[in-house]
Amino acid sequence: MDTFSPSILPEALPELSEEAVQVRLMRELFVRTRESALVDFLPVLLLGWAHWEAQPLWQLGVWAGLMLGVLVYRWLVAHLFLARPKSQAARVRAWLLLERLGAVGLAAAWVSSMVLLGRGEVDGLFHLRLICLVALAAFLLSALGINLQVYANFLVALVLGTLWVLYLHYPAYAYALPTVAVGLALYVLMLLLRSRGEYRRAREWVRARLTQRKLLDQLHQNIQQELQMHDMLRNRTHELEETNRKLGELAIHDGLTGAFRRGHIEAELRRQVKAWERSPDDFSILLLDIDHFKNVNDEYGHPAGDEVLRRLAEQVQGMLRGSDLFGRWGGEEFIVLLPGTDLDRAVEAGERLRLALAGLTFKADAGRRFCITVSIGVAHLEPGETAASLTERADKALYAAKHAGRNRVLPYEPGQTEFSPL
């Protein structure tokens, strides 16, 4: 079984354009150029201090001014390139030309030290200047070796200029020690060969950094996409939960009135009766029916009838206690469960509801207004009774109230039938 992750396979790595690599190499070249320009001030100070008493001040000042001008030029070019990353890709050749000029100028300025700071004598200061030239060629390998052409231009200018100065101003030394010229040429050739390795390492390092950055960008994008997906899933989950909640409410609540549906209110009634068997207490129910509701629909229209049902449910639920339950029993019939309520108090509660509902005024089309009345049957739970028998007795009381003239509250009495008057 392959245990390697596809994300780390070579073919899965992001592709890098040659232009992007070259621009990044140029950027690294100028970063090192700026650093080397600052470090080059140290040997300038060293040579200036060493030649303070050995050379005329004007000659020392000319050389120091030339060196400082070249170093400032190299630092300024590098700084401007690094400060304008957006224009790098379009003007790489122009910036590279400026860098070459700076490298050749630096070589020429150091070669000039053999003339401006020397008197034609081979002394300790002569060897110090020569050592600085040799050390400079090695030091700039790490800075200019990133670009072979720039480094080659610097070395050629440095070596040819040094040999020209030696044979012109120090001929005795040059002819007496020809191995110096040969050794210097071999040393430069070794540095050039070494610069190829420096260039390859720098190029590989740049490609690795760019690849790492692209991978990090891809990882960041993937993380952002995952976060967005998580947000979408969270929102979707919230929507589903809200939908399920609404569906759950619709499953137990009537969509028109908001009262409990009959199935739920019957289950709650059976639960209350079962609880009464364990802990007997007063428990009563009310059955409400709107008087002549069919006439409301026929005369004022079904929208007016729906408004009656909504307003009735709103009024009743606003008058009930927190422990009371209100449900739609069917059509225009409603039921109220009254835990902890004896028969007399249940009748009083029913009477309050009847009066409140009789005081409601409804508006139909064309500005017509009408009112409603309700009939209410009341039953109190008796020992050994079931939920079915309790609702049956309340139903008998309700129909007895309707038979007695409607718009009234009647409790169930033993032996009462649906045609029994009060």
With 0-12 CB in 10 A as exposed, 13-18 as middle and 19+ as buried, what is 150?
buried
What is the DSSP annotation of 271-300?
HHHHHHHHS---EEEEEEEETTHHHHHHHH
Mention every residue, 6+ apart, whose C-beta is less than 8 A from residue 27.
81, 82, 85, 88
Chain centre to alpha carbon of residue 397: 65
Q: Residue 99 catalytic?
A: no
Tokens read off for 412: 């169930």
Please give the biggest Cα pair distance in the chain.
148
* Cα radius of gyration rounded to whole Å, the chain: 51
Q: Which residue among the candidates 239, 332, 392, 413 is catalytic per the annotation?
A: 332
Q: What angle do CA 64, 65, 68 make, to 5 degrees?
A: 85
- State the Cα–Cα distance between residues 294 and 364, nearest whole angstrom: 15
**Strand 325-330's sheet: what is its strand order?**
325-330, 333-339, 283-290, 374-380, 409-411
Cβ atoms < 10 Å from Cβ of 108: 15
- State the Cα–Cα distance between residues 169 and 10, nearest whole angstrom: 58
Whether 326 contacts 336, CB under 8 Å:
yes
- State the Cα–Cα distance between residues 88 and 97, nearest whole angstrom: 13
What is the DSSP annotation of 169-235?
H-HHHHHH-HHHHHHHHHHHHHHHHHHHHHHHHHHHHHHHHHHHHHHHHHHHHHHHHHHHHHHHHHH
Whether 248 contacts 264, CB under 8 Å:
no
The residues annotated as belonging to the active site are: 332
